[in-house]
């Protein structure tokens, strides 16, 4: 071992001996190559982001009838459409992680001009409200109709906050998003049950109590977990609502 011509190099010496320099150079190149490969591999192995958007900088005006039940929403007539497609219903949420800041008592059931931005995913749309003022305009009574029951179902899915899932956050559901969804639902954003239909499409059903009241505080502990719940599915034009007792929620 005494013949071993090993180099002795301490980091502060300005010149690295040749063999050490070659070795360290190879290690550095290896690290740079690993950084490049991982920069590709790590994002490539993540779940794809959803096609969903929040145009929160693009505040526009919308006109329609404000309805408070089962969740605050704006009913907008679709020009030239009748029957099941006569109205679009935009669920209303606030800015940030909150429900809409509106004087619902004063405005519910009335025509309003509302300022807000769009949040949308797969043909479903939400409005993040900045403000609303009443308008003088006749109301189409059909806008206030109660919806059509599609029957009772036992559904499996995940409780999400409608605002994030429909476009504010990506990912807007599952474990990494859980804390955010809890904060949003606690802040008044309507909770929804996300279920996969037989064709593998995502369906979003707004979740309310059987009497139509909000269940936000009662579902917080189940957010983002796989759950099963039984209830009545009601169609309100292009909204689906699940009226169910949160006490019947079961983790699966």
Give me the residues that bind another protein (CB under 8 A), please: 1-2, 6, 8-14, 16, 19-20, 23-24, 27-28, 31-32, 35-36, 38-52, 95-98, 169-171, 174-180, 182-184, 186-187, 221, 225
CA distance 40 to 34: 10
Q: Coil, helix or strand for 238?
A: coil
Most distant pair of Cα atoms in the chain: their distance: 102
Q: What's the min distance (Å) between Cβ of 170 and ligand HEM?
A: 9
Task: Decide which of ligand HEM, another protein, none touches 183; Cβ closer than 5 to 8 Å per partner kind.
Answer: another protein
Task: Decide which of another protein, ligand HEM, none touches 235; Cβ closer than 5 to 8 Å per partner kind.
Answer: none
Positions touching ligand HEM (CB under 6 A) are 42, 171, 176
Contacts of 192-198 with CB under 8 Å at 24 or more apart are 192/159, 192/160, 192/161, 192/162, 192/165, 193/155, 193/157, 193/158, 193/159, 193/160, 193/227, 193/229, 193/242, 194/157, 194/158, 194/159, 194/160, 194/165, 195/155, 195/156, 195/157, 196/157
Choice between 164 and 240, CB closer to ligand HEM = 164
Q: What's the min distance (Å) between Cβ of 171 and ligand HEM?
A: 6
Please answer whether residues 219 and 245 qualify as being in contact, where contact means their C-beta atoms are separated by less than 8 angstroms: no
Choice between 67 and 182, CB closer to another protein = 182
Residue with tokens 């001009």: 113
Q: What's the min distance (Å) between Cβ of 106 and ligand HEM?
A: 39
What number of CA atoms fall less than 13 Å from residue 57's CA on the CB side? 0
Task: Decide which of ligand HEM, another protein, none touches 117; Cβ closer than 5 to 8 Å per partner kind.
Answer: none
Choice between 42 and 198, CB closer to ligand HEM = 42
Choice between 22 and 78, CB closer to another protein = 22
Q: What's the min distance (Å) between Cβ of 173 and ligand HEM?
A: 11
Task: Decide which of ligand HEM, another protein, none touches 169; Cβ closer than 5 to 8 Å per partner kind.
Answer: another protein
Residue 43, preceding bond cis, omega within 30 degrees? Answer: no
> What are the C-alpha distances in Å from 247 to residues 44, 208, 217, 221, 250?
40, 12, 12, 12, 8
Choice between 46 and 151, CB closer to another protein = 46
Task: Decide which of another protein, ligand HEM, none touches 141; Cβ closer than 5 to 8 Å per partner kind.
Answer: none
């Amino acid at each position: 071992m005494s013949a071993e011509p090993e180099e002795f190099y301490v980091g502060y010496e300005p010149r690295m001996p040749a063999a050490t320099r070659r070795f360290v150079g190879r290690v550095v190149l290896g690290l740079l190559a690993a950084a490049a490969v991982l920069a590709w591999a790590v994002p490539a192995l993540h779940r794809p982001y959803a096609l969903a958007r929040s145009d929160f900088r693009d505040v526009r005006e919308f006109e329609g009838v404000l309805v408070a039940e089962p969740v605050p929403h704006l009913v907008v007539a679709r020009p030239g459409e009748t029957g099941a497609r006569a109205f679009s219903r935009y669920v209303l949420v606030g800015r940030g992680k909150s429900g809409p800041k509106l004087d619902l008592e004063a405005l519910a059931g009335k025509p309003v001009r509302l300022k807000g931005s769009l949040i949308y995913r797969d043909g479903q749309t939400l409005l993040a409200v900045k403000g609303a003022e009443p308008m003088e305009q006749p109301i189409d009574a059909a806008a206030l109709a109660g919806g059509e029951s599609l029957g009772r179902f036992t559904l499996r899915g995940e409780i999400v906050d409608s605002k994030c899932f429909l476009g504010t956050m990506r990912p807007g559901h599952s474990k990494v998003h859980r804390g955010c969804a809890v904060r949003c639902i606690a802040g008044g954003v309507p909770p929804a049950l996300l279920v996969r239909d037989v064709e593998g499409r995502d369906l979003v059903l707004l979740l309310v109590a059987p009497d139509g009241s909000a269940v936000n505080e009662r579902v917080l502990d189940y957010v983002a977990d796989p759950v099963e719940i039984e209830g009545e599915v009601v169609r309100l034009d292009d909204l689906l609502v699940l009226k169910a007792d949160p006490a019947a929620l079961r983790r699966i």
